[in-house]
């Protein structure tokens, strides 16, 4: 028996590139045993100091009067726990002087859900029949955005300026000379730092994008899944940014609580109210447990100290070791570049002139027990089949133990070297 799906059902329920990739990775991991070098996922590391904090908080919830009841047995309001919303607003107001209150804050069931809501709220088919787009000022960009549309293709993207910044090192930048904000753009969106590259837009680039958005009366969405001030996985100077037309997204995932599925959105009250309505329709309410675990850390500001003194140094050292290993292992035998590692959990490798596609390289590496993500998945919204760069890149995670990362890089070097032989 076969059933007919709606347009929405067809878009969301009949497969996607990221689903196929993650299913492939999952089966390889399940069947590969302990020898698999899992460098392809976005799973955060388990930081011992942070795990101690989470265990302590769970113990405190058990001891608090009705603490566990609040976390597990009651619905919150669709927009989130009122005390948690107040705590988030106060944290940013006190720390950065932003003129925001709880009416500027909403909780979603993870950051991924926040973007599904935001993209389909601000783009797609409009009431007057127009179709609006989400503008990505540069690609590569987060693969999780790509299939978020509930109706039509949502994204328009621009290729970056590529600057060599050191031996075997480069950095992407926004090409403002070519960037165009057309009338059909409903919002501008960028992640900071960027997944997959670890790129951090400069304060000047963010300010320029903000000015463009304001001039066109549209929101600027800044995805801070890895960003400032928490979890703070940024290794360069980058100030948190806010304005009345800006939407900021945060998450508890990369600070160490991915399974709580807790997304945090700060934005204009009109957008925040809409997110609360969408949460009620789609899921009644959002998970409580993450909000209850981190509530006292937000109220005291401890979450900022932990991000600065525990989370950032942990990943910064992993980044340093991974970059050093790449230089040692890749050497001078073939053309290679690594994007300047400015944040997040990833190295973005570029092999200029690679004789095969990154997808084929991915398949070869998978046969040898090294799981990465081929770069072409991250270049959605930009339709130029002749731009070879998008097929010359790989994303690898350095969140795993250092010996696993080094061994994975060794195998990558062997396979890439063999392509030129």
pLDDT, position 38: 82
- From first to last of its 421 residues, the chain has per-residue pLDDT tens of 778 877 777 777 766 666 666 676 666 656 655 667 888 877 899 999 999 999 999 999 999 888 788 888 888 899 999 999 999 999 999 999 999 999 999 999 999 999 999 999 999 988 998 999 999 999 999 998 988 887 778 999 999 999 999 999 999 999 999 999 999 999 999 999 999 999 999 999 999 999 999 999 999 999 999 999 999 999 999 999 999 999 999 999 999 999 999 999 999 999 999 999 999 999 888 999 999 999 999 999 999 999 999 999 999 999 999 999 999 999 998 999 999 999 999 999 999 999 999 999 999 999 999 999 999 999 999 878 889 999 999 999 999 999 999 999 999 999 999 988 7
For the chain, give the number of residues. 421
Q: In the structure encoding, which two tokens stand for residue 77, read together?
A: 């309001």
Q: Of 279, 300, 321, which one is at a domain's C-terminal end?
A: 300
* Centroid of chain to Cα 101: 25
pLDDT, position 14: 66
With a CB cutoff of 8 Å and minimum separation 6, the contacts of 325 are 402, 405, 406, 409
CA 298 to CA 304: how far, in whole Å? 8
Q: Of 281, 300, 319, which one is at a domain's C-terminal end?
A: 300
Does the residue 178 lie in any domain?
Answer: yes
Residues 89 and 221 in one domain: yes
Does the residue 55 lie in any domain?
Answer: no
Residues 268 and 310 in one domain: no
- Alpha helices (H) along 14-108: 17-32, 48-63, 67-72, 82-96
Look up tokens 């690594």; give the residue.
338
Q: Of 283, 300, 317, which one is at a domain's C-terminal end?
A: 300
Residues 103 and 182 in one domain: yes
Residues 27 and 139 in one domain: no
pLDDT, position 66: 80
Does the residue 103 lie in any domain?
Answer: yes
pLDDT, position 20: 62
387: left (phi over 0), alpha (psi -120 to 50) or beta: beta
Does the residue 66 lie in any domain?
Answer: no
Does the residue 69 lie in any domain?
Answer: no
Residues 323 and 295 in one domain: no
Residues 277 and 368 in one domain: no
Q: In the structure encoding, which two tokens stand for residue 146, read together?
A: 């790509």
In terms of Cα–Cα distance, which of 288, 265, 326 is closest to 113?
265
**Helix (H) / strand (E) containing 190:** strand 185-191
Does the residue 1 lie in any domain?
Answer: no
pLDDT, position 29: 59
**Helix (H) / strand (E) containing 328:** helix 312-330
Domain count within the chain: 2
Residues 113 and 262 in one domain: yes
CATH number for 269: 3.40.640.10
pLDDT, position 26: 67
66: left (phi over 0), alpha (psi -120 to 50) or beta: left
Residues 337 and 389 in one domain: yes
CA 51 to CA 258: how far, in whole Å? 12
CA 329 to CA 310: how far, in whole Å? 29
pTM for the whole structure? 0.94
pLDDT, position 12: 74
Give just the sign of the alpha carbon dihedral 137, 140, 143, 144. negative
CATH number for 394: 3.90.1150.10
In terms of Cα–Cα distance, which of 301, 340, 304 is closest to 232?
304
Q: In the structure encoding, which two tokens stand for residue 100, read together?
A: 């925001």
- Full residue range of the structural domain in which residue 236 is found: 75-300
Residues 139 and 247 in one domain: yes
Q: In the structure encoding, which two tokens stand for residue 323, read together?
A: 């970059």
Q: In the structure encoding, which two tokens stand for residue 3, read together?
A: 């059933």
Residues 31 and 108 in one domain: no
Does the residue 56 lie in any domain?
Answer: no
pLDDT, position 88: 98
Q: What angle do CA 225, 231, 233 make, to 5 degrees?
A: 85
CA 306 to CA 256: how far, in whole Å? 11
Q: In the structure encoding, which two tokens stand for residue 345, read together?
A: 């959990």
Does the residue 31 lie in any domain?
Answer: yes
Q: At what angle do helices 358-367 and 402-420 cross, to 10 degrees?
A: 120
Residues 107 and 250 in one domain: yes
CA 95 to CA 396: how far, in whole Å? 34
Residues 197 and 327 in one domain: no
């Amino acid at each position: 028996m076969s059933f007919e799906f709606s347009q929405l059902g067809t878009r969301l329920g009949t497969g996607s590139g990221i689903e196929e990739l993650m299913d492939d990775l999952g089966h390889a991991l399940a069947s590969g045993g302990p020898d698999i070098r899992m460098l392809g996922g976005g799973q955060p590391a388990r930081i011992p100091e942070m795990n101690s904090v989470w265990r302590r908080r769970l113990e405190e919830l058990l001891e608090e009067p009705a603490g566990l009841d609040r976390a597990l047995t009651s619905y919150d309001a669709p927009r989130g726990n009122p005390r948690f919303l107040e705590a988030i607003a106060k944290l940013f107001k006190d720390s950065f002087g932003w003129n925001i209150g709880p009416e500027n804050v909403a909780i979603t069931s993870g950051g991924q859900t926040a973007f599904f809501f935001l993209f389909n709220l601000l783009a797609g088919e409009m009431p007057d029949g127009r179709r609006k787009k989400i503008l990505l000022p540069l690609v590569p960009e987060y693969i999780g955005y790509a299939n978020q549309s509930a109706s039509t293709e949502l994204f328009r993207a621009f290729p970056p300026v590529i600057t060599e910044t050191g031996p075997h090192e480069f950095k992407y930048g926004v090409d403002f000379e070519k960037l165009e904000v057309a009338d059909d753009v409903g919002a501008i969106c960028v992640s900071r730092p960027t997944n997959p590259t670890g790129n951090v837009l400069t304060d000047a680039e963010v300010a320029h994008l903000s000015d463009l958005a304001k001039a066109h009366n549209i929101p600027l969405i800044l995805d801070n899944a890895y960003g400032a001030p928490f979890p703070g996985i940024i290794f360069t100077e980058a100030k948190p940014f806010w304005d009345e037309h800006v939407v900021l997204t945060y998450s508890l995932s990369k600070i160490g609580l991915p399974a709580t599925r807790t997304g945090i959105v700060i934005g204009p009250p009109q957008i925040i109210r809409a997110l609360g309505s969408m949460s009620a329709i789609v899921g009644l309410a959002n998970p409580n447990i993450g909000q209850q675990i981190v509530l006292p850390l937000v109220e005291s500001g401890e979450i900022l100290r932990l991000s600065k003194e525990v989370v950032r140094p942990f990943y910064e050292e992993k980044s340093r070791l991974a970059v050093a290993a790449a230089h040692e292992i890749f050497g001078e035998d073939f053309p290679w570049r690594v994007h300047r590692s400015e944040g997040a959990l990833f190295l973005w490798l570029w092999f200029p002139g690679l004789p095969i596609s990154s997808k084929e390289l991915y398949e070869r590496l998978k046969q040898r027990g090294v799981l990465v993500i081929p770069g072409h998945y991250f270049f959605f919204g930009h339709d130029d089949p002749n731009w070879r760069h998008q097929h010359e890149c790989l994303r690898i995670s350095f969140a795993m133990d250092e010996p696993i990362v080094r061994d994975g890089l060794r195998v990558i070097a062997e396979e890439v070297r063999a392509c030129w032989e």
